[in-house]
């Protein structure tokens, strides 16, 4: 029998792969038609003209259990079914909308996605589907989930991204608030998010959050559960929100974090958007100095030298390198020196982290200590001998760059805009859930 992969690895592989695409089948040709028994199927929901059968739902529940580390039982399957059905309805709406917008995933894209999954999990061609079959899951169930993830990514890029922008003033404001928090404690947070889009859905959302809490208390891994059940933008990364400062989240979430100890999780917390289960990974002082995060702008000169060079060749190259270093008064002089030494090349190396030099102990020791315009070397590298001149250095104070702040703000805005777009899809749809 095929040896199954670790459960969490499979769902991690599915959720983390970049949005490529997959194929949407014509209505009625999904799992039910391809893998289910021909008799006894019952429609449990209709999403516009698309049917979800009891077989589809039972297989999706099983898929979630197998890939989240939950302890399987008939009772668990029954309690998970309503939540899984809601997620499947959302996924059908996403795939339908992608088709309407003309961004429906293609057969070649889904084939490429399966190949990526297998590469990331260390599997041979076709083994991912074998794994699913070995744990009793029809492979098309995974395909349906992948289709929806890819379709949603395309919708965000087509309809949402153009409506979201981050201004320089917003970056300035965020950076100013961060500077005012230097020395305070920041928290590494992960979350499981259950949205509430209607006033009459608050209790239903709470019941879903309580079911998730029950599985966490039984020992299910937080990250794997977040990947399968969270409906926030961070689900793909196991719910990881990164390092969070006081005041950065909804006040109700901030209050819950204050009461939660590292490596423990909160009870479900209500915000304006839904229910959240928060996990505190760690805490640390904000903006503590981190020398390895200092970024260097360098010019490097390389003298070509084979790996089997004779001692005489090494000595000649070393003498040339030292001569080049003696002619440097500012980092750009190294380019001039390279043009004067036969067989040498030079280039700019910008934004290099000091920590990235750790693989070469000599470089790690010498280069960060240089004054601006100073040189270090020669260092033996694979290409030959290398000399480095330091042009500038920045960072290391623990503050994120403007680019990092802008990206984080963009992600937050896209998440909020995506939730609004999904809410509109639900409101416009005809959804009939059978009792």
Q: How confident is the model at residue 43 (pLDDT cuts 50, 70, 90)?
A: very high
**Looking up tokens 């799992």, which residue turns up?**
31
Looking at every residue in the chain, the average pLDDT score rounds to 84
Q: How far is CA 388 from CA 296, 301, 328, 375, 377, in A?
A: 11, 6, 10, 5, 7
Query: According to the model, what pLDDT value does residue 215 have?
Result: 86
Please tell me the distance from the alpha carbon of residue 182 to that of residue 399, in angstroms, as a whole number.
9
Nearest to 388 by CA among 364, 415, 420: 364
How far out from the chain centre does Cα 31 lie?
A: 28
Contact criterion met (CB below 8 Å) for 65 and 80: yes
- Eight-class DSSP state of 183: T
Read off the pLDDT of each residue in 35-51 and give the average, rounded to a whole number.
77
Average pLDDT over residues 116-145: 86
> Average pLDDT, stretch 53-66?
92
DSSP-derived secondary structure letter, 389: E
d(CA 141, CA 56): 7
Beta bridge partners of 344: 303
Residue 193 forms beta bridges with which residues?
A: 276
For 146-179, the three-class secondary structure string (H helix, E strand, C coil) is HHHHHHHHHHHHHHHHHHCCCCHHHHHHHHHHHH
Indicate the pLDDT class of residue 431, thresholds 50, 70 and 90: very high
Bridge partner residues of 295 (DSSP): 353, 394
- The torsion angles phi and psi of 327, rounded to 5 degrees, stand at -95, 10
Mean pLDDT of 133-158: 91
The domain 183-288 having CATH identifier 3.10.50.40: the answer here is yes
Q: In whole angstroms, what is the distance from residue 393 CA to residue 397 CA?
A: 12
Query: Could you give the dihedral angle defined by the CA atoms of residues 411, 416, 418 and 420, in that order, rounded to the nearest 10 degrees?
Result: -170
Q: 């792969």: which residue's tokens?
A: 17
Distance between CA atoms of residues 346 and 338, nearest Å: 6
The CB density around residue 230, as the number of other CB atoms within 10 Å, is 24
Do 7-161 and 291-394 show the same overall fold? no
| Residue 75 pLDDT greater than 50, yes or no | yes
Q: What CATH class does 291-394 carry?
A: alpha beta
Backbone angles phi, psi at 306, to 5 degrees: -70, 155
Res. 334: pLDDT tops 50 = yes
Q: Which whole number is the average pLDDT over 93-122?
A: 87
Count Cβ atoms within 10 A of the Cβ of residue 47 and give its class: 0-12 exposed, 13-18 middle, 19 or more buried. Answer: buried
* Residue among 278, 205, 266 at smallest CA distance from 241: 278
* 172, 173, 179, 180: CA torsion to nearest 10: 160
- The CA–CA distances, whole Å, from 381 to 240, 331, 338, 362 equal 38, 20, 17, 11
Asked if residue 37 has pLDDT above 50, the reply is no
Eight-state DSSP code of residue 388: E
pLDDT band, residue 285 (cuts 50/70/90):
confident
Say what the pLDDT of residue 252 is. 94
CATH of 7-161, one of 1.20.210.10, 3.30.470.20, 1.10.4030.10, 3.30.70.1140: 1.10.4030.10
Mind spelling out the 3-state secondary structure of 192-237?
A: EEEECCCHHHHHHHHHHHHHHHHHHHCCCCHHHHHHHHCCCHHHHH
Strands 269-270 and 274-285, sheet pairing: antiparallel
DSSP H or E run through 119: helix 107-120
pLDDT of amino acid 27:
33
Q: What percent of the chain has pLDDT over 70?
A: 89
Q: How confident is the model at residue 192 (pLDDT cuts 50, 70, 90)?
A: very high
Q: Is the pLDDT of residue 235 over 60?
A: yes
Rounded distance between C-alpha atoms, residue 332 and residue 337, angstroms: 9
Is the model more confident about 288 or about 201?
A: 201
DSSP H or E stretch at residue 344: strand 344-353
DSSP state of 264: E
Among 6-20, 187-201, 209-223, which stretch is predicted with the lowest mean pLDDT? 6-20
Candidate from 153-157, 193-197, 379-383, 397-401 with smallest mean pLDDT: 397-401
CA atoms within 13 A on the CB side of 53: 20
Please state, in angstroms and rounded to a whole number, the distance separating the CA atoms of residues 276 and 287: 27
Q: Which two tokens stand for residue 289?
A: 């100095």
Phi–psi pair at 310, nearest 5 degrees: -75, 160
Torsion of CA 185, 186, 191, 195, to 10 degrees: 90
Distance CA 56, CA 138 (A): 9
Predicted pLDDT of residue 155: 95
Q: Which of 90-94, 149-153, 354-358 holds the top average pLDDT?
A: 90-94
Burial (CB < 10 A; 0-12, 13-18, 19+), residue 204, is: middle
Question: What confidence tier does 307 reach under pLDDT thresholds 50, 70, 90?
Answer: confident
Give residue limits of the domains in the chain. 7-161, 183-288, 291-394
Name the one residue in this structure whose structure tokens are 């200590």.
369
Tens of pLDDT along 77-95? 888 898 899 999 999 999 9
Residues 6+ apart with CB under 8 A from 237: 16
Q: What percent of the chain has pLDDT over 90?
A: 36
């Amino acid at each position: 029998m095929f040896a199954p992969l670790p459960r969490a690895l499979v769902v991690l592989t599915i959720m983390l792969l970049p949005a490529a695409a997959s194929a949407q089948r014509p209505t009625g040709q999904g799992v039910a038609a391809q893998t289910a028994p021909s008799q006894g199927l019952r429609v449990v929901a209709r999403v516009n003209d698309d049917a979800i059968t009891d077989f589809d739902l039972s297989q999706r529940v099983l898929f979630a259990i197998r890939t989240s580390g939950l302890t399987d039982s008939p009772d668990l399957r029954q309690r998970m079914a309503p939540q899984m059905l809601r997620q499947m309805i959302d996924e059908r709406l996403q795939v339908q909308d992608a088709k309407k917008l003309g961004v429906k995933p293609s057969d070649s894209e889904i084939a490429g996605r399966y190949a990526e999954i297998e590469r990331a999990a260390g599997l041979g061609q076709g083994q991912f589907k074998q794994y699913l079959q070995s744990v009793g899951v029809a492979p098309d169930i995974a395909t349906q989930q992948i289709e929806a993830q890819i379709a949603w990514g395309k919708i965000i890029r087509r309809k949402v991204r153009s409506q979201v922008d981050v201004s320089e003033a917003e970056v300035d404001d965020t950076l100013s608030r961060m500077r005012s928090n230097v020395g305070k404690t920041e928290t590494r947070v992960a979350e499981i998010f259950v949205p509430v889009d209607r006033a009459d859905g608050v209790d239903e959302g709470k019941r879903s959050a309580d079911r998730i809490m029950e599985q966490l208390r039984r020992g299910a891994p937080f990250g794997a559960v977040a990947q399968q059940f969270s409906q926030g933008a961070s689900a793909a990364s196991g719910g990881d929100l990164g390092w969070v400062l006081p005041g950065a989240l909804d006040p109700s979430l901030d209050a819950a974090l204050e009461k939660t100890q590292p490596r423990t999780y909160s009870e479900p917390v209500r915000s304006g958007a839904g229910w959240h289960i928060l996990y505190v990974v760690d805490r640390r002082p904000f903006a503590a100095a981190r020398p390895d995060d200092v970024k260097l702008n360098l010019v490097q000169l390389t003298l070509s030298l084979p790996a089997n060079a004779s001692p005489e060749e090494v000595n000649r190259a070393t003498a040339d390198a030292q001569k080049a270093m003696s002619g440097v008064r500012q980092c750009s002089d190294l380019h001039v020196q390279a043009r004067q030494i036969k067989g040498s090349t030079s280039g700019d190396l910008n934004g290099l982290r000091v920590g990235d030099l750790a693989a070469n102990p000599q470089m790690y020791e010498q280069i960060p200590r240089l004054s601006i315009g100073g040189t270090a070397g020669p260092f033996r590298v694979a290409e030959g001998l290398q000399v480095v001149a330091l042009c500038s250095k920045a960072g290391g104070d623990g503050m994120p760059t403007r680019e990092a702040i802008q990206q984080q703000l963009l992600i937050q805005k896209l998440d909020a805009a995506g939730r609004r777009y999904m809410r509109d899809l639900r409101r416009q749809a005809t959804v009939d859930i059978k009792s």
